[in-house]
Amino acid sequence: ESSVTGKLSISKKCAVERLVAVCAVEPATTGSPRKRRRPGLGWNPMERFWRTHLAVTQVCAQTWCELQVAYGFEIPHVLTGQQESPEMKAGADIHLSRGKRQRLSRELEVQRVVSVPALTREDRQAVSFLNLLSMIPALQAGLRVRELPVFGLLEGVFLMGVIDELCYSERGELVLSELKTRRLHTLPAPAQVKGHSLQVRLYKLLFDSLVRGDLQREHVMSHLHLRPERALGPGVLEHAGKLSLQVSTFGELLDLLILNLTYCELPAVDRLSLEYCHQGTGAPISSQDVPFAEGQLREELRDYLAYWTGHREPRGVDIEEVWKCSSCCYQQHCEWKPGESTATGTTSAYKVTTP
């Protein structure tokens, strides 16, 4: 059901559907294919690594070791070519799939997951918009939603993420939760919690700015390099139709999303929570509230983004955290010298010795 303004409503009986874009072959375009420019001198990491946006999890990975994130882009073959025994690989696969299965079964408790063929980059982004559009009325109706997409421009960089869960507490607070599965029945070390805490705080910042109506058409177009006039594929149109949205192009869907966000009157997130549970049994280990201070968070974010925008070199671990290097796959290539910085801010020679 939708009004002429494009506002959506949902019946409590109607389960929310989360759409998952699956790649379909893009039809051949007329004209010559677009060529990528070769990275030039003075290009910042966003440009060098062809990033139109950053995932929230990429920024959070910087809390562990920023240089490790940089090496992941600069010498990706190191990670992919790591010598892993079949037993190690099988173990990692089991843990990964258990974590994924746990998240999926949690999601299926509250919503259905439906695959949608996506023909173009605009289709893939449109699927994310449709998910947000279908979850707005669910939240307005007081329902719990999972895997809610958030995105927006923060401190000059376009960030994207997916909130694990949003629901209302008994006291009527809007609570944002992030589930983290653990192999052992123990809490993570503070160095890991730092990244988890940044993740939920950034999700709140993005969600709050979306429901405040801060998302602008030109931010999406210019940062994600998408074409507003591009026609949406049949799979996307079918699901837009189910939400009673009368759209044919990507730009029209974006306009409708902005309109809905402007008038949705959803509250800002009141509480942030990290939930740790055991990967094997699913038993809860602990739940921790995360404090939020916007000024401090923005300051932290500006510092992390300064690397991506080329305002400083990437940093390795602090001297107290040099223990992280022993399990790092880049240790043979790493030249970071903890505790020392040069006048130019570049890393100086540091060879982590390998056994």
Counting contacts by CB under 6 A, is residue 331 touching ligand SF4?
A: yes
Separation of alpha carbons 295 and 304, rounded Å = 15
Residue from 30, 67, 169, 219 in contact with ligand SF4 (CB under 6 A): 67
Cβ proximity of 146 and 162 under 8 Å: no
Counting contacts by CB under 6 A, is residue 69 touching ligand SF4?
A: no
Cβ proximity of 220 and 122 under 8 Å: no
Separation of alpha carbons 332 and 79, rounded Å = 12
Counting contacts by CB under 6 A, is residue 324 touching ligand SF4?
A: yes
Tally of residues, the chain: 355
Tokens 């001297």, located at residue: 319
Counting contacts by CB under 6 A, is residue 334 touching ligand SF4?
A: yes
Instruction: Sketch the per residue contact string, 7 through 46, with ligand SF4: x for CB under 6 A, - otherwise.
Output: ----------------------------------------
Q: What's the min distance (Å) between Cβ of 194 and ligand SF4?
A: 14
Residue from 26, 48, 65, 217 in contact with ligand SF4 (CB under 6 A): 65
CB of 65 or CB of 166, closer to ligand SF4: 65
Q: Which of 96, 93, 91, 162 has its CA nearest to residue 132? A: 162
- Report CA Rg, the chain: 22
Residue from 133, 240, 247, 328 in contact with ligand SF4 (CB under 6 A): 328
Separation of alpha carbons 122 and 255, rounded Å = 14
Q: Return the structure tokens found at 92.
A: 């990692």
Cβ proximity of 325 and 334 under 8 Å: yes
CB of 65 or CB of 139, closer to ligand SF4: 65
Instruction: Sketch the per residue contact string, 278 through 317, with ligand SF4: x for CB under 6 A, - otherwise.
Output: --------------------------------------xx
Separation of alpha carbons 42 and 40, rounded Å = 6
End-to-end CA distance of the chain: 65
> Stretches 83-91, 254-262, 275-283, 327-335: which one binds ligand SF4 (CB under 6 A)?
327-335
Residue from 62, 68, 197, 199 in contact with ligand SF4 (CB under 6 A): 68
Separation of alpha carbons 133 and 130, rounded Å = 5
CB of 254 or CB of 328, closer to ligand SF4: 328
Counting contacts by CB under 6 A, is residue 58 touching ligand SF4?
A: no
Counting contacts by CB under 6 A, is residue 325 touching ligand SF4?
A: yes
Residue from 8, 61, 71, 253 in contact with ligand SF4 (CB under 6 A): 71
CB of 32 or CB of 353, closer to ligand SF4: 353
Q: Which of 18, 210, 246 has its CA nearest to residue 114? A: 18
> Stretches 62-70, 85-93, 224-232, 280-288: which one binds ligand SF4 (CB under 6 A)?
62-70
DSSP 295: H
- Percent helix / strand / coil, the chain, rounded to 5: 40, 20, 40
Cβ proximity of 317 and 338 under 8 Å: yes
Judged by CB under 6 A, the number of residues near ligand SF4 is 14
Site residues for ligand SF4 per CB under 6 A? 65, 67-68, 71, 316-317, 324-325, 328, 330-331, 334, 336, 352
